Homo-oligomer: A and B are copies of this chain.
Amino acid sequence: MDYSLLWLDWKRREALPSYTGTLCGEVKTGEGKAALRELIAGFQAMRGRAPTLSSQKESPCLRLEELEGPGEGFSLLREGEGMRLRGCGKGLLYGAFYLLRHLALGEDFPEKTSSPAYPIRMLDHWDNADGSVERGYSGNSFFFREGGPVCTARTADYARLLASCGLNGSCINNVNVKGNALYLLSGKYNKELREIAACLGEYGVALWLSVSFSAPMELGGLPTADPLDEGVRAWWRDTCASLFAAVPNLAGFLVKADSEGRPGPHTYGRSHAEGANMLAQAVEPWGGKILWRCFVYNCTQDWRDTKTDRARAQCDTFAPLDGLFRDNVYLQAKNGPVDFQIREPVSPLLGRLPHTNSLLEFQLAQEYTGQQRHVCYLPAMFREVLDFRLRHREEQDTVAESIQAVTAVSNTGDDYNWTGHDLAAANLFGFGLLSWDPKADPAKIAREWSILTFGNDPRVTETVCRILLGSRETYEKYTVPLGIGWMCVPGVHYGPSPEGYEYDRWGTYHRATCRAIGVERGPEGTGYTEQYAPALAAQYRDVETCPEELLLFFHRVPYSHRMKDGRTLLQRIYDDHFEGYEEAEEMARAWESLKGRVPEDAFRRVQERFREQLRSAREWRDIINSWFYRLTMIPDKMGRTLYL
């Protein structure tokens, strides 16, 4: 079993329907040919012998019908004992993978007519030119080595993986552009970029690049990067003209501007709209797009300042600019208002950009969710966000309906298994499926991923799904309670440090005393709740109607506060931590039960990660509980150990 194939390691299947023995129809485009290639290889792997290629219509067969155009949808329909797959080149590719996946799941005639919910479904890589990966937990970059981009066999494997789950874009370098990454714009690496773009393009994956807003100064030697300066505009125009001409399949730029020390238009007294639109004009002749990150806040806040609320910053900054951006600009907003914590409310900004393209950003890299040493299955969280009703209108106002594109910070690296933790690959797969269809069911995704990865042993499938589907709640229980977030070790963001961020400049405070904890974000507090539509604001601002799992995100609450089930807040915190650790133990035991049923190397890798998860979960449980105990000196009602 070759794990580097992940879920594309097609296994032998008995009694395949007979149409898999013959392929007919003609394909012309690169993507169409890739579809045919995948079908041949997939059928061969599942059948044990190659299918026949026939130009005539035979029966039963799988007939490919390629349409002209850039469309991504496909229809896969039964024709007697055969099937017909119809679509443009990219559609055929997605349809082919769909068929192969469902054959592998044991379906004989998986009919489907489908097209993606969003035209942009991508991954953001925080890969640096030196080969390191910011917040990377699965080895080094496979896009960059020794200071420059490289195209390798893994690039092609990667493109296949993306296409197989519906993704069509990849931004290969870190939004914090530094070192040699600056020169990606300069022409210096055009050859390598062209190779990478072509390799990705074979599988319908577009190349994106992160760029520095001050590139005209850093690269062009200009005295300014003012977006209204004619020299700056000309520099970007010329630079884009050279680059886009040299690198076909380049889709556009991702920009982190005026954020955490990055340069941006504010330096010149210009707005984000002026900055983004200037770049948008430069890439427009090439059909390019600008993805403009909204992760903007004051990262030098004085902890004594209780007026400023980081959670407010993105809405305060970008909502007033709604409608001012050009059509080829996408505002990229993280799912929550702060930063990828295990539990955050949905970002209110997502409902405040009705006249602007918006792009929702998730994080597969488990920066705050166990760094791929803990199991934390994220698709259910993603689905929660996508399903969330923003309530600015009565209908069609879920997040999924309000956005125009999706992306996720990738969890991949050059580790053999791609994602460090074998089970973390389910997050990548699940994100892909949700990017295509935001109504996809996380439980079905888990089942599908498990069968494709580990084969169709029902006990394995049941166990893996049980582990995956409970993992997020378990992680949440033994780490940070009730939406408070940020009790992790500063910088590394792994392991507990209850006051690690408390007196720092990052705007992430809980301000706990011996009596109460949390920042009040209602109208009497920072007013953050009022950034939501009135119905939501009303729900959040009232402690009684605020969802309990977000209680400490929205409110400052005494430890004696009664939860809905009658427990005190403090007892709930203790209970969650004890239970969370027990659940982690249970997950580890469940994995142990799979010994001999999953490949030994995968078994051992995951077993080792579980050891670390348990060690770390115990630290979380004991440190968080002890910290609250020391703060309050109120013991656990059940008499469990709290350390002084």
Where the two chains meet, the residues of A that have a C-beta atom closer than 8 Å to any C-beta of B are: 303-304, 306, 496-500, 503, 511-515, 619, 622-623, 626-627, 629-633, 643-644
The answer to whether residues A514 and B619 also contact, given A496-B503, A643-B304 and a CB cut-off of 8 A, is: no
Alpha-carbon separation in the docked complex, A643 to B644 (Å): 26
Task: Decide if A511 touches B631 in the complex (CB within 8 Å).
Answer: no
Given A511-B630, A514-B632, 6 further pairs, Cβ under 8 A: A303-B623, A497-B500, A499-B499, A499-B627, A503-B626, A514-B631
The answer to whether residues A513 and B304 also contact, given A499-B498, A623-B503 and a CB cut-off of 8 A, is: no
The answer to whether residues A630 and B512 also contact, given A496-B503, A503-B623, A619-B503 and a CB cut-off of 8 A, is: yes
Task: Decide if B643 touches A514 in the complex (CB within 8 Å).
Answer: no
* Majority DSSP secondary structure for residues of A touching B: loop
Task: Return the chain B residue nearest A306 by Cβ.
Answer: B644
Which residues of B sit under 8 angstroms from A497, Cβ to Cβ?
499-500, 503
Task: Return the chain B residue nearest A619 by Cβ.
Answer: B503
Task: Decide if A644 touches B511 in the complex (CB within 8 Å).
Answer: yes
Alpha-carbon separation in the docked complex, A352 to B497 (Å): 38
The answer to whether residues A515 and B633 also contact, given A304-B643, A498-B499, A622-B304 and a CB cut-off of 8 A, is: yes
Task: Decide if B644 touches A513 in the complex (CB within 8 Å).
Answer: yes
Which residues of B sit under 8 angstroms from A500, Cβ to Cβ?
497, 500
Give 28 pairs: A residue, B residue, CB < 8 Å, sorted on A. Answer: A303-B623, A303-B643, A304-B622, A304-B643, A306-B644, A496-B503, A497-B499, A497-B500, A498-B499, A499-B499, A499-B627, A500-B500, A503-B623, A503-B626, A503-B627, A511-B630, A511-B644, A512-B630, A513-B629, A513-B631, A513-B633, A513-B644, A514-B514, A514-B630, A514-B631, A514-B633, A515-B633, A631-B631
Distance between A258 CB and nearest chain B CB, rounded to angstroms: 25
Which residues of B sit under 8 angstroms from A619, Cβ to Cβ?
503
Task: Return the chain B residue nearest A517 by Cβ.
Answer: B630
Which residues of B sit under 8 angstroms from A513, Cβ to Cβ?
629-631, 633, 644
Distance between A518 CB and nearest chain B CB, rounded to angstroms: 12
**Interchain residue pairs A-B with the least CB separation, the first 5:** A514-B514, A513-B630, A503-B623, A304-B643, A499-B499
Task: Return the chain B residue nearest A626 by Cβ.
Answer: B503
Distance between A589 CB and nearest chain B CB, rounded to angstroms: 24
Which residues of B sit under 8 angstroms from A503, Cβ to Cβ?
496-497, 619, 623, 626-627
Alpha-carbon separation in the docked complex, A225 to B503 (Å): 46
Which residues of B sit under 8 angstroms from A631, Cβ to Cβ?
513-514, 631
Which residues of B sit under 8 angstroms from A626, Cβ to Cβ?
503
Which residues of B sit under 8 angstroms from A627, Cβ to Cβ?
499, 503
Task: Return the chain B residue nearest A632 by Cβ.
Answer: B514
Which residues of B sit under 8 angstroms from A622, Cβ to Cβ?
304
Distance between A191 CB and nearest chain B CB, rounded to angstroms: 34
Distance between A505 CB and nearest chain B CB, rounded to angstroms: 10
Alpha-carbon separation in the docked complex, A511 to B623 (Å): 12
Distance between A484 CB and nearest chain B CB, rounded to angstroms: 15
Alpha-carbon separation in the docked complex, A377 to B303 (Å): 31
Which residues of B sit under 8 angstroms from A514, Cβ to Cβ?
514, 630-633
Which residues of B sit under 8 angstroms from A496, Cβ to Cβ?
503
Alpha-carbon separation in the docked complex, A629 to B503 (Å): 14
Task: Return the chain B residue nearest A630 by Cβ.
Answer: B513
Alpha-carbon separation in the docked complex, A511 to B515 (Å): 18
Task: Return the chain B residue nearest A624 by Cβ.
Answer: B503
Which residues of B sit under 8 angstroms from A512, Cβ to Cβ?
630
Alpha-carbon separation in the docked complex, A623 to B498 (Å): 15
Alpha-carbon separation in the docked complex, A515 to B634 (Å): 12
Alpha-carbon separation in the docked complex, A619 to B511 (Å): 16
Distance between A409 CB and nearest chain B CB, rounded to angstroms: 26
Distance between A34 CB and nearest chain B CB, rounded to angstroms: 49
Alpha-carbon separation in the docked complex, A560 to B503 (Å): 26
Alpha-carbon separation in the docked complex, A632 to B626 (Å): 16
Distance between A610 CB and nearest chain B CB, rounded to angstroms: 21
Task: Return the chain B residue nearest A491 by Cβ.
Answer: B491
Which residues of B sit under 8 angstroms from A515, Cβ to Cβ?
633
Task: Return the chain B residue nearest A305 by Cβ.
Answer: B643
Task: Return the chain B residue nearest A641 by Cβ.
Answer: B304
Alpha-carbon separation in the docked complex, A67 to B303 (Å): 66
Distance between A101 CB and nearest chain B CB, rounded to angstroms: 45
Alpha-carbon separation in the docked complex, A513 to B514 (Å): 9
Alpha-carbon separation in the docked complex, A432 to B627 (Å): 45
Distance between A617 CB and nearest chain B CB, rounded to angstroms: 14
Task: Return the chain B residue nearest A489 by Cβ.
Answer: B490
Which residues of B sit under 8 angstroms from A623, Cβ to Cβ?
303, 503
Which residues of B sit under 8 angstroms from A303, Cβ to Cβ?
623, 643
Distance between A642 CB and nearest chain B CB, rounded to angstroms: 10
Which residues of B sit under 8 angstroms from A633, Cβ to Cβ?
513-515
Distance between A159 CB and nearest chain B CB, rounded to angstroms: 40
Alpha-carbon separation in the docked complex, A554 to B318 (Å): 55
Alpha-carbon separation in the docked complex, A306 to B631 (Å): 18
Distance between A232 CB and nearest chain B CB, rounded to angstroms: 35
Q: Which of A499, A619, A633 has the most CB of B within 10 A?
A: A499
Which residues of B sit under 8 angstroms from A644, Cβ to Cβ?
306, 511, 513
Alpha-carbon separation in the docked complex, A304 to B630 (Å): 13
Distance between A302 CB and nearest chain B CB, rounded to angstroms: 10
